[in-house]
Amino acid sequence: KQWYQRRVHGGIKNTNEKAAILGAIAGVQHVRLMAKHYGVPVVLHSDHCAKKLLPWFDGMLEANEEYFKANGEPLFSSHMLDLSEEFDEENIATCAKYFKRMAAVKLWLEMEIGITGGERMELITVESRLSLSTPSLSRCSMCTRLSHPSHQCSPFAAAFGNVHGVYKAGNVTLSPHLLKGHQEYA
């Protein structure tokens, strides 16, 4: 029992996501090493980083910056910020801030804006329903704010009742007319 407690509880504390950062870096370094020996290209992406995990995101970006200085390319290929629980303006401002930093080391940013359905229905407010159903200036301003001269285009994915994950039947309704409205607005 004492060995178990030392082994499990005596490890790296995850204060400020330190253990998560080291784990992500170790995993990516392992994949890069094996890919090199197999002679295959890899795309290394972190997914769904919520606001409460921004210290993890910051730690991975620091590792990317250090790796880029030494190797001329980022350690990861891309990262995703999932700030869909936040209001659009905060989401866009945070993504714009990170995008500038990421562009400097040739990293792609994937962002999730708006609620994408299903199990998280309790997160949908009147404001977010409106932002999902109407093309908004904030969404178009996002494209402008995330533009960077080093990229030929800026990726943008708009939700229109997206279904991913496990949802109860009938809990999500796809609304392709929303996508059409966003396309016409842009």
**Cβ-contact 159, 115 below 8 angstroms:** yes
Handedness of CA 61, 63, 65, 67 (dihedral sign): negative
What is the three-class DSSP state of 46?
A: strand
Q: Of 47, 58, 82, 88, which one is the catalytic site residue?
A: 47
Bridge partners, residue 45, by sequence? 78
Q: Is 82 a catalytic residue?
A: no
Instruction: Please report, for residues 49, 72, 159, the alpha-carbon distance to residue 55 in angstroms, rounded to integers and kept in the order given.
Output: 10, 24, 26
Q: What is the amino acid identity at position 123? A: L
Which is it for strands 78-82 and 45-49: parallel, antiparallel or unpaired? parallel
Contact 91, 110 (CB under 8 A): no
- 108 in helix, strand or coil? strand
Catalogue the active-site residues.
47
